[in-house]
Amino acid sequence: MARVFISAAFSLQMLSPEAAHRVEIYPMSVASVRHFWEDQVEVVSAVGHADTAAVVADMLGFEVPAQRISIHLEPGDLLIVAQLYGGRLPEGATSLPEGFDLRFVGVQVES
């Protein structure tokens, strides 16, 4: 099975510069994201900020550790991006404040 990651952003630095890539980007529902944890799929967190990780964990109902790691996506890998709308989270946030929105987007690399 391909690897699954979760982060707060997608960067071209996550792709190999030596190869051409096709990247598929699509919306994901909260339920479809929860599916990975419910099915005990290993999801590697690359969410770098503790507040963002706490809010994502609160929304999903599963632990999402804050980890500042670099990831390199290979064909078949899935990156779940937790995209925050509404500005920067207030320091110490553990749930989504009023006026903010969090949407999940799947990013899949094809060869």
What's 103's domain CATH number? 3.40.50.11170
Question: How many domains is the chain partitioned into structurally?
Answer: 1
| Residue range of the domain that includes 21 | 4-110
- Residue 3: predicted pLDDT: 93
Which residues, at least 6 apart from 83, have a Cβ–Cβ distance to it below 8 Å?
Answer: 8, 9, 102, 103, 104, 105
- Residue 1: predicted pLDDT: 58
- Residue 89: predicted pLDDT: 75
The whole-model pTM stands at 0.89
Per-residue pLDDT of the chain (111 residues; tens, 9 = 90+): 589 999 999 999 999 888 778 899 999 999 999 999 999 999 999 999 898 999 999 999 999 999 999 999 999 999 999 998 877 777 877 777 788 889 999 999 886
